[in-house]
A = this chain, B = another copy of it.
Amino acid sequence: MNASAAKSVTLYEVGPRDGLQNEKQAVPPEVKIEYINRLARTGLRFIEATSFVKPGAIPQLQDAAEVMSGIERPDSVNFVALVPNQRGMQAAIDAGLRTIAVFTAASDAFTQKNINCTVAESLARFADVFALAREHSIRVRAYVSTVVECPYAGRIDPGAVLQVSQKLLDMGAYEISLGETIGVAVPDDIARLLDALLSDIPADKLAGHYHDTRGTALANVMRSLEYGLRTFDASSAGLGGCPYAPGAAGNVATEDLVYALERSGYETGVNLVALAEASRYILENMQRASVSRVYATIPQQN
């Protein structure tokens, strides 16, 4: 990797999926489509657009097929959908996706509550998904949630994160997204985690997915950069959160990350003004305020 490549960072936009999924109000599919189309014109190279969940499971995401068939699909953007099982994988194939994501955690207590199985059972469930992915040359990204703490089981041993991550890479995942789900971590937590993971996993197989519930997400990204991570998940305008936990916030705002990274000498390829306009579109439709600091500093375009 040359010096220039080393100073480039990939942002993986999760606003349309992780963001909208965790907002209380439903957003009509045509609004999602326009939001995604606008995001796709900002320079972002990865957009997680939706999730092919079981009908009835997550009301906010029932329109996955409609959204995927409605959006523009420029070659410059990798569109991704979350896939829970073989049925969802078939829907993703039908939608022409080239990258999908699977979701598990480092804590059995968390997977039991969220996907109704142990971590090991979730991996077994993914075997069919990975088989279909190989068959169709589809790339699989894997989310590992609760990498620092679980809301039900407390502190998580970095060794548990390493174990599940290594298994997912062995199964064929191209990247592990490390989910600091509840937003409690400080940079030292991230350092301890990465010290454990990087002994066995190269940094370019890892992405940081840090929720900003206690305002520490950007500091955690900054520490991760020192460890060689160069991919981070982010949510435009900081969309997201969890309706059930007081103060729970979404992923770090994409705007805040673009600003801090570019100012630190990393290229993101993202146009901040265009990004803020995409955010403005969805915020106005939801009548919701931004939680991104940088968003508030960008004058509205007309």
Contact = CB atoms under 8 A, between A and B. Distances in A.
Contact of A215 (B187, B246, B265, B293): B293
A222 B187 CA distance: 8
Interface string A184-219: 101111000000000000000000000011111011
Most buried by B among A189, A264, A295, A297: A297
A141 to B, nearest CB: 26
A294 B265 CA distance: 29
Contacts of A214: 256, 259-260, 293-294, 297
Interface string A244-269: 00111100010010011001110000
A292 interface: yes
A171 interface: no
Contact of A299 (B184, B246, B297): B246
A260 B216 CA distance: 7
B297 A213 contact: yes
Contacts of A294: 214-215, 247
A120 interface: no
Most buried by B among A189, A222, A259, A292: A222
A260 B219 contact: yes
Interface in A82-128: none
Contact of A187 (B186, B189, B264, B298): B264
Interface string A215-228: 11011001100000
